[in-house]
């Protein structure tokens, strides 16, 4: 049975690698579950500095809706999701009013956000790898609060599910905790789900879980349920 929901996905890769074509297996998994699926790309760092990435994600989101509407496909129930760097960018798309106004994004038809392993806060302890990736993403002396989901979040109607592992190895679990606390403090609906699967390191639960089945992977089952 096909769902009436559309999932728009923003890929991960540390902002400096990846493209939609590398995540075909995610689309196959989601489409196999009955959902329409669109995967968005963006210019990569370090050549392209933020906010190029969110500019591209917003433009891609608008283009995706135009395409679906031209095909007479219902876009009244959109779910936005992404892993890792994609969770960072897609959360800004959903919750930053200033970003929405700047890039003319209408989020009224988004009924949910699912972030997987996202770096939502830059004020929590970060691994050396994340520090290097952020240094590549932002120009020197750039005000990073302008690209930090926790700082940019405003109150709106979109409920969020944050899927995060305490054994991530790359992204500190407190990133999701801080984002969750900010959401609750301003009245946004939010659920924080801790990954309990045995395969719970960053690359496994942010992407490779889509190579498994819902019976095999509880994180994947949570994503769909």
- pLDDT tens digits, 67-116: 999 999 999 999 999 999 999 999 999 999 999 999 999 999 999 999 99
d(CA 70, CA 15): 31
Q: Is 104 left (phi over 0), alpha (psi -120 to 50) or beta?
A: left
- 45 is written with which tokens? 């760092």
Cα dihedral 119, 112, 193, 201, rounded to 10, equals -50
Tell me the pLDDT band of 2, cut-offs 50, 70 and 90.
Answer: confident
Residue 1 in this model has a pLDDT that exceeds 60: no
- 33 is written with which tokens? 């579950």
Residue 158 in this model has a pLDDT that exceeds 70: yes
What sign does the dihedral 224-72-21-115 (CA atoms) show?
Answer: negative
Residue 126 in this model has a pLDDT that exceeds 80: yes
| pTM summary value | 0.97
pLDDT in tens, 38-67: 999 999 999 999 999 999 999 999 999 999
- 92 is written with which tokens? 């800004």
Which residue shows structure tokens 């830059």? 122
pLDDT in tens, 8-38: 999 999 999 999 999 999 999 999 999 999 9
pLDDT in tens, 165-212: 999 999 999 999 999 999 999 999 999 999 999 999 999 999 999 999
């Amino acid at each position: 049975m096909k769902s009436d929901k559309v999932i728009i996905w923003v890929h991960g890769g540390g902002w400096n690698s990846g493209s939609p074509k590398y995540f075909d297996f995610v689309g196959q998994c989601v489409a196999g579950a009955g959902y329409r699926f669109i995967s968005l790309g963006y210019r990569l760092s370090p050549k392209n500095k933020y906010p190029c990435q969110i500019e591209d994600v917003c433009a891609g989101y608008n283009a995706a809706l135009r395409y679906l509407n031209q095909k007479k496909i219902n876009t009244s129930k959109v779910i936005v999701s992404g892993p890792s760097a994609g969770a960072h960018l897609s959360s800004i798309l959903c919750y930053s009013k200033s970003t929405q106004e700047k890039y003319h994004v209408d989020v009224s038809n988004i009924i949910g956000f699912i972030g997987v392993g996202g770096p939502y806060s830059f004020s929590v302890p970060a691994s050396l790898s994340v520090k290097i990736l952020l240094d590549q993403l932002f120009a020197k002396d750039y005000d990073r609060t302008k690209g930090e989901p926790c700082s940019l979040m405003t109150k709106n109607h979109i409920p969020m599910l944050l899927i995060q592992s305490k054994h991530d190895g790359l992204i500190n679990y407190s990133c999701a905790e801080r984002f969750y606390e900010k959401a609750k403090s301003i009245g946004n609906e939010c659920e924080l789900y801790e990954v309990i699967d045995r395969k719970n390191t960053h690359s496994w639960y942010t992407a490779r879980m889509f190579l498994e089945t819902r019976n095999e992977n509880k994180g994947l089952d949570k994503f769909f349920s």
